[in-house]
Amino acid sequence: SSTRGETIMKPVKVVLGVLAGAAAGAIVGMLIAPRKGSATRMRIARTGAEYAEEAKDKFNEYVDAVTEEYDTVKESAKTLVGRGKEKVASAAAARRAK
């Protein structure tokens, strides 16, 4: 059985794997393309920067999603704790009334 953290990390690993594969494929494609060395290096640098920006955006989306999930779980926990306190107080009051 996987933990909640492992479940959340699986999509991130897939996204990072896809991005890494795409970047590697693009770089290999540029290296074997018939162009001048300086033009190829410039193109690799530009493409690398684009992939880095895309990876950064995906990571930020992931962080936002995790933060939102954390906030939801935190609020649910507060609600449950509040209900538990109410039940304990109610049981204590009923016991004192006897």
| Per-domain residue ranges of the chain | 4-97
pLDDT digits (tens, 9 = 90+) for 18-29: 888 887 887 777
The answer to whether residue 84 scores a pLDDT higher than 60 is yes
| Tokens 């609600």 found at | 79
Q: In the structure encoding, which two tokens stand for residue 71, read together?
A: 């906030």
Please compute the mean of the pLDDT values over residues 8-13 and round it to a whole number.
71
Q: Confidence band (pLDDT; 50, 70, 90) for 1? A: very low
**Containing H/E element for 34?**
none
Q: What is the pTM of this model?
A: 0.47
Burial state string for 22-46 with b = 16 or more CB within 10 A and e = fewer than 16: ebeebbeebeeeeeeeeebeebeee
Distances (CA, A) of 46 to 30, 38, 50, 52, 55: 11, 12, 6, 10, 14
**What's the sign of the alpha-carbon dihedral 86, 91, 92, 98?**
positive
